[in-house]
Amino acid sequence: MQAAEIAKLVGGDVLGDPSRVISGVRKIEEAGEGDISFIANPKYLRFHDGTQASALLVNREFETTRKDLVYIKTDDPYLAFLLVLRTFMPPAIRPEPGVHPTAVIASDVVLGANVSIGPHVVVGARSVIGDGVVIQSNTVLGEDVMVGRDTVIFPNVTLYHQTRVGERVTIHAGAVIGADGFGFLPRGTSEGWEKIPQTGIVVVEDDVEIGANVTIDRATLGETRIEQGVKLDNLVHIAHNVVLGRHTVIAAQAGISGSARIGERNMIAGQVGIVGHIDTVPDVIIEAQSGVSKSIRKAGRYFGHPVKEHAQALRQEGALRQLPDLLRDIRDMQRRIAQLEAALGVDAKE
């Protein structure tokens, strides 16, 4: 593609040769002749002078200093880069419709049009699979499962009985949806634990993406619900009866305990832990390795263990770093006071 064509694709303006031919997309520090890259984060400005890329996507305020580069100025260079990336590297071709000979499909399963079911897939009784669904190898769907149209399920996924999956959902390899929630009642000090029946279901709404090895537990009663547009990274755990609000995103190794309700458009970073039976309002950001022990009633950024508003958490972290120096100063003051008291003949115990 020529630079002018890319600019039209992303709604940008060209500075430099609009006929420059672009044949690849690479990171700015690795790009070479014919590649296009981008600068959206100021941290990557250090690569600008040395990059071998032919073109860069930058924001409209970017100061262009190299005559050998073609700059394409846009409102959002990262979003523009994603559009270019999809153009140069389109998604993998969907498998042909049909059921692989090794798949095991119960006799009363309802299959929609253009469904593709791969090798060694097992689909249990009364399952309903919508149009255009792709289910890849070694996947297990339990009894009475429903999968919406245009959903893609990668290998080694297990959907337990009565799981409901919406349209245009992507479930990556190894995910387990609908396993029992962790519920046990102590019988006594020496009598072990009584399992609490987990009789609810999991509902995954439309346009959700579920990462590899994610686990989403079924409800004790009612539903565990993943609302529309939620995106889960790999190795996320969602416990029983949790509700994740629309368009919330959760990074790897985060865990949400039972019956928590997470508001819409929350951003939960890696290794965050959230206790059960609390809720958050919309538009909350929880930073990495934070621990949430109480409900969050105000939108904004939070950090720490337990979490605090971002600015307060930073002040406390700064104060903690000064403690060694403060302790040294206090000990020095105590020593000097003792010396003064000794010189004056004062008994410190009086």
Report the distance separating Cα 116 and Cα 100, nearest Å.
8
b vs e for 18-47, b when ≥16 Cβ sit within 10 Å of the residue's Cβ?
bebebeebeebeebeeebbbbbbeeeeeeb
Looking at residues 206-219, what average pLDDT do you find? Answer: 97
Looking at residues 16-22, what average pLDDT do you find? Answer: 96
**Neighbouring residues of 307: CB distance < 8 A, sequence distance ≥ 6:** 286, 290, 291, 292, 293, 296, 313
Contact between residue 150 and residue 189 where contact means Cβ atoms under 8 Å apart: no
Q: Which of 69-83, 199-213, 316-330 has the lowest mean pLDDT?
A: 316-330
Report the distance separating Cα 256 and Cα 261, nearest Å.
9
DSSP-derived secondary structure for 138-195: T-EE-TT-EE-TT-EE-TT-EE-TT-EE-TT-EE-TT-EEEEPP--EEE--SSS-EEE
**Full set of structural domains in the chain with CATH:** 3-88 (3.40.1390.10), 98-309 (2.160.10.10), 312-350 (no CATH)
Contact between residue 284 and residue 300 where contact means Cβ atoms under 8 Å apart: yes
Report the distance separating Cα 150 and Cα 146, nearest Å.
13
Q: Is 172 an active-site residue?
A: no
Phi and psi of 81, rounded to 5°? -60, -40
pLDDT tens for each residue of 128-160: 999 999 999 999 999 999 999 999 999 999 999
* C-beta atoms surrounding 158 within 10 Å: 19
Token readout for 256 is 């949400």
Report the distance separating Cα 73 and Cα 238, nearest Å.
41
- pLDDT for the residue numbered 341: 86
- pLDDT for the residue numbered 129: 96
pLDDT at 190 over 80: no
Residue 332 φ/ψ region, left for φ over 0, alpha for ψ in the -120 to 50 degree band, beta for the rest: alpha
Strand partners, 117: 99, 135
Count Cα atoms within 13 angstroms, Cβ side, for 305: 7
Query: Which residue out of 172, 240, 247, 277 is catalytically annotated?
Result: 240
Looking at residues 15-26, what average pLDDT do you find? Answer: 95
Looking at residues 188-209, what average pLDDT do you find? Answer: 92
Residue 43 φ/ψ region, left for φ over 0, alpha for ψ in the -120 to 50 degree band, beta for the rest: alpha
- The answer to whether the Cα torsion of 127, 131, 136, 137 is positive or negative is positive
pTM for the structure as a whole: 0.85
**DSSP type of residue 108:** T
Instruction: Of 321, 320, 291, give the one whose Cα is nearest residue 307.
Output: 291
Beta strands 13-15 and 237-238 are unpaired
